[in-house]
Structure 1
Amino acid sequence: MGMNLIINAAKRETRGPKAASGIYLPPVKGFMDDLTLTAKTHIQARWMLSALEEAATWSRMRFKPRKSRALVIRKGQPTKKFNLTVQGEDIPSTMDSPIKCLGKWYDATLQDGNNIKRIKNQLTEGLKQIDKSGLPGKFKAWLFQNGLLPRLMWPLMLFEMATTVVEGLERTISRHLRKWLGVPPSFSNIGLYGRSNQLQLPLRSLVEEYKVAKARLVMTLKDSREDMVRRAGVETRTGRKWSASQAVAQAESRLRHKDIVGTTAVGTQGLGSAETRSWKKADSRTRREMVQAEVCLAEEEDRGIRAVAMGCQGAWTKWQTTGKKMTWADIWRSEPLRISFLLRSVYDLLPSPANLHRWGKRDNPTCPLCGKIGTLEHTLSSCQTALTQGRYRWRHDKVLQELADIVERERRK
């Protein structure tokens, strides 16, 4: 109640700044025990500080000017010509002392260039610490997924960061994940983050999470309960390559189209086997979740398009088999070499004769047994000479022979 009295005392001194959409923003904003004052001129700011000082002194309260910051802009440039004081103490300028609020640093530039550098350093240092932990690679991947990645999501949503910068951060992450999972550097990001692949890993893409966070921010501002927030016209900038507002508009259009089409059967599932949600009947929270899911779906469709264009690592798109979804429990129970072999076999990165020839390790791509092109499929299951000689069933027959010998010895006893 006391904080509301102090805020109302400062509101009477000025109307507040005018936004680009034409509405006037509140001059005083309160969050917990923090206050943010915004005025058109430094004279109005002094009036507001005088009103706050009078109300706080009357209520026997004290401000902490040393923990506050002031920023005065003149002709588009910050200046220290006009000093602001409260209760007899000067308020430091952001030109001399940047301040952190809600996870974001504010300095005299009012830009996110330094914040982006901090995120890059945080990611680099976090990956180095995980890499030096001495744990097996699969546990390092788990540490990144559940420890480092959640810490990056809040600044990624808050800062004005271009999509290309986030893609550069994801390339750094993918390089470490390939090393930890035991796959070669040529292993595609589609194999790491794809959700519709024949082999799905429990890893989330940084770019996808960034796009989902920005779409959630757009929906939160647009559907806010505060009328002033909805009409403020806040623009979420994400660079030229991808636009959050356009992605949200496209997702809403697709969801409305799905309402018109109705419920359809996907694959071999029957009607009613999957839960459907209607965009028209959904509330604001459900709509926000549906838009985020649609953004993820659009990102997965883009991965599918790129996978089809890949001749070697995208061969799994032509398989008529049921995909396998690996969980962290499956990864923990598997040996590192088994995980590596599974990934390289699905995406055709095993040292078959054709791959060795493609990598410059062999003069010709033919099979040494039958003379045909030694692709992965040919080497593993379709070489006629290997079938005739029993090479494919040799390991199986050896196990059966041992079992037969044990049974025969027991029978003779």
Structure 2
Amino acid sequence: MFPRKLILVATLCALVLACSKKDDPEPEQTPEVILSIEVGTQWANWYWVYATDDNGEVLDIKGCGRGLTELKASTELSKINVTLCRKGDPDSQSNNFTFTTYMGVPVKTTIELPDDPIPTRGNDLGAAIFSIANYVESGDPLLNLSFSTRQQNPSVDRPVEESFENNSLVLAYTLRESPAKVLVTGKRGETPVYFLKTGIKPQDQLDLDYNTDFKPADKILKIDYFGYNAATALGFMNGESNSYFLSSANTDSQNLGYVDGFDRYQTSIFNNNTVNRNNTQYFKEGTPASAITFPLHNLTVTNPGRATFDTLIPSYTYARAEWRYSVGSDVISMTTYGDASTKLKCFDFPAKLTEMYQFLDKLDRSKILFNTMKVYQHVDGFTYADFLDATLRGEKPATTEVFIFDNVY
């Protein structure tokens, strides 16, 4: 009997221990950093950042001061939705908010909001004088001719007309560096032409003939797609952020020109299909664009609610949807990005923001209306993860090529 009693006691003890272990509360998870954001002085205290799950449940929210801000939460999610909320000018009488949401952001991503570089340009060193004979093109020559230098400020550094008589044009162009490389572009008839010279100094006078000194563009791309077109080509040197203007084209002037010798080129073409009213943009960074075939598409948005809407769209890499509230001077923009597998949503405002900003709490949400959708179809292997790195971390690719379709509801 003794061994049986021992077995019975041991069994009862095991059951008691098992029940005790089952009833013990699960240990609480320690919140971990799920997102970091580095903010420069310029943007300190301008932004709120918060992370949510796909149901809109807020995992953490913080205001962004200068330096590092971290969001923490106890979660097993590998990806989260991140929203940057920017409040408008606090001294303004109107209420302006911008909400930008990125869906599917990997946990522990670091976002960077560095200060925008302050554009610098050299001092006014004086002007070089350009005398251009045989200029017989119609229209204002100050608008038809474009002058570019490495340190140009297009809104300020425009040539000043000295005289225009007997098809002879005299212009003064301010230099910000000496010597300077100056590119002058225009069109002779429908042909893009250019004059390029290095070593130009202030007070230099250049006597040019528009027929012989201005050469046809080294490469010409025809912009003759159905509907309305507008295109621009820019050139960059030695990693400089300032561009040299190469050429423009449109429905009435269809030739886009490129000039050899630049390190990289940027091409932007906009096409509006006047039948289905959809827009397509083509953007390429790197080498000059070759013959382009615009994909056919009929981007359509139906049932454009804030939580869900249906689309008929071509294959794409990622998409962007925007909702807007605009009543009087009060404007709210709510934009969401996501990849092709994501159902884009317009998330509601977190309680912390509605407590701080009574305007958001009392807002008639029925007046937040769907505004537009864009889809991005990359042809260069660029992914949504690359887009997040480029947008949130500043890791922009040296080359890219993409079609952008949009539809305004």
Q: What is the TM-score normalised by the length of structure 2?
A: 0.23
Q: What is the TM-score normalised by the length of structure 1?
A: 0.23
The structure that is strand-richer by fraction is 2
The structure that is helix-richer by fraction is 1
